[in-house]
Structure 1
Amino acid sequence: MTTPRGFIQQAAPETLDDGLKQLLSTWSEKAYDDHNMLLTLARRPGMLKAAMGFVRYIYGESGIEPELMEMVRIKLAWNNQCRH
């Protein structure tokens, strides 16, 4: 199955273990309601857990101010010509 955004198949949500389902639920609650990236990474659960560890650190545990993180996100989107 391809998505409008690419050719990598996503993991079917019903095939995820309870830990990954909880991660998706938390992501929806605290971040975004878009699961495209997470379901794609969920095809390799180790990769998803590593990526989420990085996200958890950057947005929760690091000393980086939220305003600076937002500026970095905007600059990255600009550099990558992101349409969002």
Structure 2
Amino acid sequence: MSHFILTYAYNDTPERAARRQEHLDHLAKLQAEGSLLLAGPLADLSGGIIVLAAPDAEAAQALIDQDPYTRHDVTKNRELKEWKITVGP
């Protein structure tokens, strides 16, 4: 299993508030399945970070593509990168 970090910024859209619960429900589902390790907004609320566990980049991208924030263009400047952990569990 590989680890991936998604960073993103927010678009200025009312969809952010409208889709928030769907987004949180999606993240909870991923966490229950073991695919989501960490997620949350940046302290200045300009964007967020999601840390995923997935077999490969394509599988990680598929998880991101299912997120209501992605599907409804709430986020922009999405960047998904594989993360090679050297210290930690």
More strand by share: 2
Same structural fold, with TM-score higher than 0.5 when normalized by the shorter chain? no
Normalised by the length of structure 1, the TM-score is 0.31
Normalised by the length of structure 2, the TM-score is 0.30
